[in-house]
């Protein structure tokens, strides 16, 4: 029996299989209930007592060797079937899925494209600004509430340095360095000292537009606003202008659009008024033109500004502003199909 066991050990050591079916035939031959290894265990009762210890150890070694060999070949076939041992040259170098544009970026680019068709070019400026460009040059009074620490993030080491509260500071920088005609759009992030909630945040995004030239009138402003609204929200969109006040424009107005959810009939979103406010606008105050070195007796202009989050809410009905800055992949994945 010892010779038989040693012979089987040598046979199993060089065992090979070309297919999973051939491997199963080897398993049946050696390890099934009627297999050769099993038969040797059944004959163990006939082994003389003085040989039982040696034969028993050899039998266990044979069984383990056969089981290990079968398992090893089986694992090789499984890896081949799943392609684990092959290098996939089409696989991305990084184990992450492709992302999508942020909804705010999608809407910002759409706004820029609309105004580009009206001849506006992009202008940008610093987010850390000085008091002159954010407030003084824009006709803010020294005691205006916006200068209060409760509304503005001032840099502690210098009360004249602050985080810009609007992108109007970009407009003043352009007017200081350029003479009309000026036709710019100013997208960017702004900061205000507000409590974070579903409807407000300490930072958000704006797009402001400025047009300064000879004989620019409020009618030009209204036509630009009507064109923008129809391009952004649909050809059936209507607008209305309500008198308002801003330090840097005179006259000033708030603009509403007909609710794009109910078509102006009234719903919960528009508070059953049929109108939704989206931006502020007006004719550039002559004091602002003069402060920036532009002759207000020769040139006039209009300015308008809107919050990108506000426009995005209207387009996609996002009810919580905090979702825009939380980077929740489940939320962002919804905008894969957006352009």
Sorted by where each begins, the domain ranges of the chain are: 2-82, 103-335
Give the span between the Cα atoms of 117 and 60, in whole angstroms: 85
- Token output for 89: 């040259």
- The dihedral of CA 257, 261, 265, 267: what is its sign? negative
Model confidence at 8, pLDDT cuts 50, 70, 90, reads: confident
Please name which of 124, 174, 25, 103 lies closest in space to residue 333, comparing C-alpha atoms.
Answer: 103
Beta pairing, strands 161-163 & 128-130: antiparallel
Give the span between the Cα atoms of 262 and 273, in whole angstroms: 10
Please name which of 321, 323, 326 lies closest in space to residue 198, comparing C-alpha atoms.
Answer: 321
What would the pLDDT profile of 25-60 be if each residue is shown by its tens digit? 888 888 888 888 888 878 877 878 888 788 788 888
Burial status of residue 7 (CB atoms within 10 A of its CB: 0-12, 13-18, 19 or more)? exposed
Domain 103-335 has CATH 3.40.50.150: no
* pTM, entire model: 0.67
pLDDT at 93 over 70: no
Least confident of 49-63, 108-122, 238-252, 277-291: 49-63
Give the span between the Cα atoms of 267 and 258, in whole angstroms: 11
Please name which of 286, 292, 296, 339 lies closest in space to residue 316, comparing C-alpha atoms.
Answer: 339
């Amino acid at each position: 029996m010892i010779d038989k066991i040693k012979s089987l050990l040598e046979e199993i050591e060089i065992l090979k299989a070309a297919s999973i079916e051939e491997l199963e035939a080897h398993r049946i031959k050696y390890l099934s209930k009627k297999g050769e290894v099993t038969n040797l265990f059944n004959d163990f009762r006939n082994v003389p007592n003085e040989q039982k210890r040696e034969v028993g150890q050899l039998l266990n070694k044979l069984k383990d060797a056969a089981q290990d060999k079968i398992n090893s070949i089986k694992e090789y076939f499984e890896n081949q079937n799943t392609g684990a041992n092959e290098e996939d040259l089409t696989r991305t170098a990084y184990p992450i899925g492709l992302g999508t544009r942020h909804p705010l970026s999608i809407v910002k680019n759409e706004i820029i494209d609309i105004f580009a068709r009206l001849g506006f070019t992009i202008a940008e400026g610093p987010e850390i600004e000085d008091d002159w460009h954010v407030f003084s040059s824009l006709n803010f009074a020294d005691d205006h509430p916006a200068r209060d620490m409760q509304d503005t993030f001032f840099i502690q080491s210098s009360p004249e340095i602050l985080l810009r509260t609007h992108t109007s500071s970009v407009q003043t920088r352009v007017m200081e360095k350029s003479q009309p005609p000026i036709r710019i759009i100013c997208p960017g992030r702004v900061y205000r000292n507000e409590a974070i909630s579903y409807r407000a945040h300490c930072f958000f995004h704006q797009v402001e537009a400025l047009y300064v030239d000879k004989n620019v009138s409020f009618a030009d402003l209204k036509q630009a606003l009507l064109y923008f609204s129809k391009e952004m929200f649909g050809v059936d969109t209507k607008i209305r202008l309500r008198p308002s006040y801003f330090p840097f424009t005179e006259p000033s107005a708030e603009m509403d659009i007909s609710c794009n959810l109910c078509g102006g009939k009234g719903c919960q979103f528009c508070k059953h008024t049929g109108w939704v406010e989206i931006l502020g606008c007006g004719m550039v105050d002559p004091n602002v033109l003069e402060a920036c070195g532009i002759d207000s007796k020769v040139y006039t202009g209009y300015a308008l500004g809107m919050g990108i989050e506000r426009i995005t809410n209207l387009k996609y009905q996002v009810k919580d502003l905090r979702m825009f800055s939380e980077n929740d992949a489940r939320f962002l994945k919804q905008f894969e199909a957006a352009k």
